[in-house]
Chains A and B, each alone.
Chain A
C-alpha cells in the first residue's frame, strides 16, 4: 500500500484580536482620535510594524498533528467546534499555509469545503457547471465528458439553461454538489456538505461518497453527524483543541469522542475559544443535567424526571429565537428534538428576547430512556432566518434503569426508549 497523505508535526497559528481593532468605534470620540492617529498608523503599516504585536494574541488552531493515511482509505475526523478540523482540511486543500510542519499529498486534492463556490447567479446552470468545474481544477474536456452525468445527478435537467438566480435553494445546492461530486480527484476532502438539501438528496450524496471510496480514492470526512461517520468510515481521528488525541477504528473513536464530555460530570461550560464569532449575539454559557433533586449528575435514573438547563446570554435582542436540544444515542441515532418555544403560549410570550442572561429549562418526564449513554446537542436559531449556535455534542449522560419496566428480566432491551406503557391483559374465554 502506498501512502496518500503524510502529515508531520503540522501546526497552524492564528493571530486573534486583529479584527477587533477595526470595529471598535463606539463613540464619536473614538472616531476622532482614530482619524488623527491615521497617518501614524499608515506609516507603521508601511514599514511592516503591526500595532499590536504581543504574543498573547496568538493561538494554535492546530498543533503537533501527525498521521499517515494509505491510499483508498476513508478517514473520519471528529471534534468539537474549534477543535481544528476545518483548519486541518484547509491546510490539506492548500487554502491556507501551515505555520510549522509538512504534508505530503499524493495526487489531486478535491475539496468540498463549501459547495457552489464561484457560482454566479446571473449565469445559467450549464454555464455555472463549466465555471465551477474550472474553479475546482477540472479541464474543459473533462467537464464535457461528465456534463450529462452531472446534470442527471443534480436533477435540474429542465432548468439547465435558466440563470441559477431563479433556482430554489434546494436546486442550487444539488447542482453545486453534483459538480463537486464529479470532480474525481485522488483525494477527496469533505466537510459537512451532507447538511445540505432534503433527506432524499442527502441519501444520494452519502451513496456517492460510498462509491468514491469504493473506487479506491482516499477520502477525508468531517462531520458532526456520528451516524454518517460510522457508516462511511472505518477509521477516525479525534481532534481536541488543535491536537490529535486519538486515532482508531471509527466506533472506538466515536465512543471516545462522545464520552469526552464525561469528565465535566453533567455540566458543560463553553470557553471563549469554543464559541464561533459568527454566533454573536448569542453566547452559550453552560448546559447542566440535573436529577429530580436539582443535583448536577452524570448518571440519571430512568424512573425519575431529568432537567436540562441551558444558560446563555444575548448581547443584543433577537426576534424569533428558539433554543433547544437534540437527543441522540451514542450510535448517532436521533431520539428527539425539542425547542423552548414549542408550546404556543411561550412562543407568543418570547417572540422577541431582550439582551441579557437566560436559562431555558426542559423537564424530561420519567420513563423515557432505555439503558445506555445519550448525547445532547444544543441549537439556537431563528427559524428560516439564521442559526446562531449549534453544538451537536454538547454533553453526554448515562441512564440507569433500575426499577424501570421489565427489569425483572436481566436482558438488553433494543431501542432507545423504554416507556412505561399502559398494558392491559384480558382473558377471553
Chain B
C-alpha cells in the first residue's frame, strides 16, 4: 500500500465569485505543467497519420509564398523596397502564419475541449494559452526555410534582431492570445465565432502588410493603420530581418500598446466569464 505524503493540506473556499474575479495567477502557476503537456500533445497529434508529417509546417507557408510571388510579385509587380519578393513575403508569412494558427486554435480551444471543461477543474486559461503556444513549433521549422532563403538571396540581417525578433514574436503571441481569449469566451455561448473566424482571418490578412509593403499606405493613414497590432509585428519582422523600412517608430509603439490592451482586456473578460463556462458550453 502506498504511503500518503503527509503535508498540511491547504483549505480551499468555494463560493460565488463577485464582480471582476481576480486573475488567480497562483493557480495558473500550480498547473504550469499542464500547459507544457497540452502543447506537447498538440504537437504530437497534429501530424499523426499524415504522409508528409512535419513537412506540412514547411509546405503551407512555402506554397503561399510561391502563389504570392507569382500574383503580387510577377503579375501585379507590387513595390517591395528593393527586396526580392520571395524573401519579402516569406518574412511576413512566418509571423502571420503563427498568428492565424494561434488565433484559430485558441478561439476554438474551449469548445473543442468541452469534455474537459465540464468534467474537471483546472484554470481554463490553460486551453487558449496552450493552443497559442503550440504554433511556435511550426514557426521554428518554417524559420529554417527563411534562413535558407536569406542565404540564397544574400540578405544580411542586422545584429539587433537577436533581441528585437523575440520581442516581435512575443507581440504576435500577445495579440493572438488576447483576441483568442475574447473569442474563445464568446464562443462558449455564441458559436457564431466559429462562423466568423475564417472571415475575420481573411479580412485581417488584407489589413496587414503581408503581400504588400506598408509603405504603399499614405502617410496620413499610417497611424490608423497601426491600430492593427499585426501591422506592427510584420513591419518589425521585415525591419529586423531584412532591414527594410524604419525601426520602431510612433506607429509601432501604437501597435504594441494596442496588443497589450487586447491581452489585458481579454484576460479580464475571460476571467469574468469563466465561472459560466461549464454551465453554458
- Enumerate chain A interface residues (CB-CB to B < 8 A): 14, 18, 45, 90-109, 111, 113-114, 117-118, 120, 122-123, 127, 130-131, 134-137, 139-140, 146, 149, 184, 186, 211, 215-217
Q: Are A105 and B37 neighbours in the complex by a CB distance under 8 Å?
A: no
The one of B9, B12, B116, B278 in contact with A90, judged by C-beta atoms closer than 8 angstroms, is B278
Q: How many chain B residues touch A (Cβ–Cβ < 8 Å)?
A: 36
**Contact A211 to B1, CB < 8 A, known contacts A96-B279, A117-B120:** yes
Interface flag for B275 (CB, 8 Å): yes
**Contact A117 to B115, CB < 8 A, known contacts A90-B278, A215-B4, A217-B4:** yes
Q: Which residues of A contact B154 (CB under 8 A)?
A: none
CB distance from A132 to the nearest CB of B (A): 9
Q: Are B33 and A140 neighbours in the complex by a CB distance under 8 Å?
A: yes
Which residue from chain B places its CB closest to the CB of A130 in the assembled complex?
Answer: B37
Q: Which residues of A contact B34 (CB under 8 A)?
A: 134-135
Q: Are A117 and B41 neighbours in the complex by a CB distance under 8 Å?
A: no
In the assembled complex, the Cα of A4 lies from the Cα of B2 at a distance in Å of 21
In the assembled complex, the Cα of A134 lies from the Cα of B37 at a distance in Å of 7
1/0 per residue, CB under 8 A from A, across B97-121: the answer is 0000000000000000101111111
In the assembled complex, the Cα of A90 lies from the Cα of B117 at a distance in Å of 11
In the assembled complex, the Cα of A102 lies from the Cα of B9 at a distance in Å of 19
Q: Are B116 and A102 neighbours in the complex by a CB distance under 8 Å?
A: no
In the assembled complex, the Cα of A155 lies from the Cα of B116 at a distance in Å of 25
CB distance from A75 to the nearest CB of B (A): 17
Q: Which residues of A contact B122 (CB under 8 A)?
A: 135, 137
**Contact A105 to B4, CB < 8 A, known contacts A120-B45, A123-B41, A131-B41:** no
Interface flag for B151 (CB, 8 Å): no
Q: Are B9 and A107 neighbours in the complex by a CB distance under 8 Å?
A: yes
Q: Are A93 and B121 neighbours in the complex by a CB distance under 8 Å?
A: yes
Q: Which residues of B contact A139 (CB under 8 A)?
A: 33
The one of B1, B12, B17, B45 in contact with A97, judged by C-beta atoms closer than 8 angstroms, is B17
Q: Are A103 and B9 neighbours in the complex by a CB distance under 8 Å?
A: no
**Contact A104 to B12, CB < 8 A, known contacts A135-B122, A137-B31:** yes
**Contact A134 to B33, CB < 8 A, known contacts A122-B45, A215-B4:** yes
Q: Are A105 and B115 neighbours in the complex by a CB distance under 8 Å?
A: no
Top 4 A-B pairs ranked by shortest CB distance? A107-B9, A94-B121, A134-B37, A103-B14
Contact sample, A vs B, 25 pairs, CB 8 Å cutoff: A14-B279, A95-B121, A95-B278, A96-B275, A97-B275, A102-B13, A102-B14, A104-B14, A105-B11, A106-B10, A113-B119, A113-B120, A118-B115, A118-B116, A120-B45, A122-B48, A123-B41, A123-B44, A131-B41, A134-B37, A135-B34, A137-B31, A139-B33, A215-B1, A215-B2
CB distance from B152 to the nearest CB of A (A): 37
Interface flag for B53 (CB, 8 Å): no
Tell which of B33, B117, B190 has the most Cβ of chain A within 10 Å. Answer: B33
Tell which of A14, A103, A135, A184 has the most Cβ of chain B within 10 Å. Answer: A135
Interface flag for B220 (CB, 8 Å): no
Taking A93-B121, A103-B15, A131-B37 as given, write out 17 further A-B residue pairs in contact, using a Cβ cutoff of 8 Å, ordered by the A residue number: A95-B120, A95-B121, A97-B15, A98-B14, A102-B15, A104-B13, A111-B121, A117-B115, A117-B119, A122-B45, A122-B48, A123-B41, A123-B44, A123-B45, A131-B41, A134-B33, A135-B116
Tell which of B9, B17, B113, B118 has the most Cβ of chain A within 10 Å. Answer: B9
Interface flag for B49 (CB, 8 Å): yes
Tell which of B16, B48, B121 has the most Cβ of chain A within 10 Å. Answer: B121
Q: Which residues of A contact B9 (CB under 8 A)?
A: 106-108, 186
Q: Are B12 and A105 neighbours in the complex by a CB distance under 8 Å?
A: yes
CB distance from A299 to the nearest CB of B (A): 43
Q: Which of B19-53 contact A (CB under 8 A)?
A: 31, 33-34, 36-37, 41, 44-45, 48-49
**Contact A93 to B16, CB < 8 A, known contacts A134-B37, A216-B4:** no
Interface flag for B280 (CB, 8 Å): yes
In the assembled complex, the Cα of A90 lies from the Cα of B277 at a distance in Å of 13
Q: Which residues of A contact B48 (CB under 8 A)?
A: 122
Which residue from chain B places its CB closest to the CB of A141 in the assembled complex?
Answer: B33
Q: Which residues of B contact A90 (CB under 8 A)?
A: 278
Which residue from chain A places its CB closest to the CB of B45 in the assembled complex?
Answer: A122
Q: Which residues of A contact B44 (CB under 8 A)?
A: 122-123, 127
Q: Are A95 and B119 neighbours in the complex by a CB distance under 8 Å?
A: yes
The one of B11, B45, B117 in contact with A104, judged by C-beta atoms closer than 8 angstroms, is B11
Q: Are A101 and B15 neighbours in the complex by a CB distance under 8 Å?
A: yes
Which residue from chain A places its CB closest to the CB of B14 in the assembled complex?
Answer: A103
**Contact A107 to B119, CB < 8 A, known contacts A100-B16, A102-B15, A140-B33:** no
Q: Are B120 and A111 neighbours in the complex by a CB distance under 8 Å?
A: yes
Q: Which residues of A contact B190 (CB under 8 A)?
A: 45
The one of A18, A91, A114 in contact with B280, judged by C-beta atoms closer than 8 angstroms, is A18
Q: Are B119 and A91 neighbours in the complex by a CB distance under 8 Å?
A: no
In the assembled complex, the Cα of A146 lies from the Cα of B49 at a distance in Å of 30
**Contact A114 to B121, CB < 8 A, known contacts A92-B14, A101-B15, A103-B15:** no
CB distance from B245 to the nearest CB of A (A): 37
In the assembled complex, the Cα of A96 lies from the Cα of B124 at a distance in Å of 12
Q: Which residues of B contact A100 (CB under 8 A)?
A: 16
Which residue from chain A places its CB closest to the CB of B278 in the assembled complex?
Answer: A96
CB distance from B36 to the nearest CB of A (A): 8
In the assembled complex, the Cα of A29 lies from the Cα of B120 at a distance in Å of 41
CB distance from B37 to the nearest CB of A (A): 4
**Contact A91 to B120, CB < 8 A, known contacts A140-B33, A211-B1:** no
